[in-house]
């Protein structure tokens, strides 16, 4: 990128490179001022330029994956790519149990390209099919399903079952087939054939969610010997000390280690011990995780037994609590409510935190009927959206 230089000097107020690496921060020193920087990641792709003479592409990540281009599949030299995304067996088991297994996801890029002659693709068979080879059958009589998504760009894949229209040939623990169009392809061994697409959609959503390292931080405050409030944060930055709770007499009562959380996934909170949620106790509380946003959850609580310590356990889960489900607990924190604090500075804090526009509004609408020009101007600006 023009304007970038390396190695980076130490900027005292930012800390050394070693300190930043511990925080998983990448520093960029530039002599220009661009509109923005973008950090992107994707699975590696194997590229080559294919001409009318044909050729082949082989995945370095999953060596058994291969694409073969016959002569005249393309009429001019074009840059094509092959991508193979492994599917961890433990993830499949966690989401689907033993209902299905999957091969790596294989993509020919650019997607939606039509070839003049069919190209050949070779994909490893799903683990359960490899371990227990069966009569392949055809169409709906086989549990081995070939799924395809022709959606291009960054749009979410839409899987279709094309097993009935595509002939599969088996050899050396792989399936080979031909296609006229570049797309994403995926093999699934799913005895419940009608559910193959649904299972694939669920699994693919999990595979493509971006993981972030985050901390769960819990603040607490007792308004009364029996009642209090919890404020829960899931933070991807180091701005714990800059939260509003530090100005409202909340006390930090728990902080987790760094935990991997997937972008866009719902997180559910479950409280137990001597603390119970106030109102709708049977309804679980949740929020959706968004990186570098204020993932905040407020939970009013009360002490179940005042003769015992006002404490309990707060768990964050990937699914809503169901007793028949095996829960994947992201984080389990023990919390103890701080001593009860009342009164004194509440009015001062209220005045400090009340928006300026609201205070002008209260004054201008008072029974005195006095409207100062400065107040009217400020009120107009705030109502117009100026900050």
pLDDT tens readout for residues 255-296 = 999 898 988 888 989 888 999 888 765 566 888 898 888 888
Contacts of 347 (CB under 8 A, 6+ apart): none
Average pLDDT over residues 69-93: 94
Q: What is residue 56's predicted lDDT score, i.e. its pLDDT?
A: 95
Locate 102 and state its tokens.
């999957």
Q: What is residue 179's predicted lDDT score, i.e. its pLDDT?
A: 96
pLDDT (tens digit per residue) in 311-334: 999 999 887 765 445 557 888 999
pLDDT reading at 220 higher than 70: yes
pLDDT reading at 150 higher than 90: yes
182, 110 in Cβ contact below 8 A?
yes
Specify burial of residue 159 (Cβ count, 10 A radius: 0-12, 13-18, 19+).
Answer: buried
pLDDT reading at 65 higher than 90: yes
Q: What is residue 373's predicted lDDT score, i.e. its pLDDT?
A: 41
DSSP letter, residue 11: B
Q: What is residue 31's predicted lDDT score, i.e. its pLDDT?
A: 84
Q: CA dist 54 to 106, 109, 161, Å?
A: 20, 16, 29
pLDDT (tens digit per residue) in 112-137: 999 999 999 999 999 888 767 665 55
In the three-class reduction of DSSP (H, G, I as helix; E, B as strand; rest coil), residue 212 is classed as strand
Locate 192 and state its tokens.
């419940």
For residues 93 and 240, the model is more confident at 93
Q: What is residue 109's predicted lDDT score, i.e. its pLDDT?
A: 93
Start-end ranges of CATH 2.60.40.2660 in the chain? Answer: 211-336
CATH code matching the domain that covers 45-208, chosen among 3.40.50.2030, 3.30.70.1280, 2.60.220.30, 3.90.226.10? 2.60.220.30
CATH code matching the domain that covers 211-336, chosen among 2.10.109.10, 2.60.40.2660, 3.30.70.260, 1.10.540.10? 2.60.40.2660
DSSP letter, residue 182: -
């Amino acid at each position: 990128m023009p304007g970038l230089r390396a190695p980076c000097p130490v900027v005292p107020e930012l800390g050394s490179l070693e300190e930043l690496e511990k925080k998983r921060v990448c520093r960029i020193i530039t002599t220009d001022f661009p509109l923005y920087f973008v950090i992107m990641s994707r699975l590696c792709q194997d590229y080559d330029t294919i001409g009318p003479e044909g050729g082949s592409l082989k995945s370095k990540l999953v060596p058994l994956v291969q694409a073969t281009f016959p002569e005249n599949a393309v009429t001019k030299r074009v840059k094509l790519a092959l991508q193979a995304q492994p599917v961890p067996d433990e993830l499949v088991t966690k989401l689907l149990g033993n209902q299905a297994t999957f091969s790596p996801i294989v993509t020919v890029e650019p997607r939606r390209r039509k070839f003049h002659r069919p190209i050949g693709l070779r994909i490893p068979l799903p683990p359960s099919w490899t371990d227990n080879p069966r009569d392949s059958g055809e169409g709906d009589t086989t549990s081995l399903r070939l799924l395809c998504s022709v959606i291009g760009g960054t749009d979410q894949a839409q899987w279709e079952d094309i097993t009935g229209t595509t002939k599969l040939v088996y050899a050396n623990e792989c399936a080979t087939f031909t296609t006229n169009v570049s797309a994403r392809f995926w093999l699934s061994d799913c005895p419940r054939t009608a559910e193959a697409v649904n299972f694939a959609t669920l699994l693919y959503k999990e595979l493509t969610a971006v993981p972030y390292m985050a901390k769960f931080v819990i603040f607490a405050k007792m308004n009364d010997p029996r009642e209090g409030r919890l404020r829960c944060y899931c933070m991807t930055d180091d701005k714990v000390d800059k939260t509003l709770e530090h100005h409202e007499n909340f006390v930090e009562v728990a902080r987790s280690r760094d935990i991997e959380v997937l972008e866009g996934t719902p997180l559910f909170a479950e409280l137990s011990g001597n603390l119970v949620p106030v109102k709708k106790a049977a309804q679980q509380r949740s929020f959706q995780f968004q990186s570098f946003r204020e993932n905040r959850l407020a939970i009013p609580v009360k002490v179940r037994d005042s003769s015992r310590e006002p404490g309990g356990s707060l768990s964050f889960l990937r699914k809503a609590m169901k007793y028949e489900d095996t829960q994947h607990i992201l984080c389990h924190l023990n919390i103890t409510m701080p001593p009860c604090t009342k009164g004194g500075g509440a009015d001062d804090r209220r005045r400090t935190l009340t928006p300026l526009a609201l205070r002008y509004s209260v004054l201008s609408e008072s029974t005195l009927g006095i409207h100062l020009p400065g107040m009217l101007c400020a009120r107009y600006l705030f109502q117009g959206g100026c900050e």
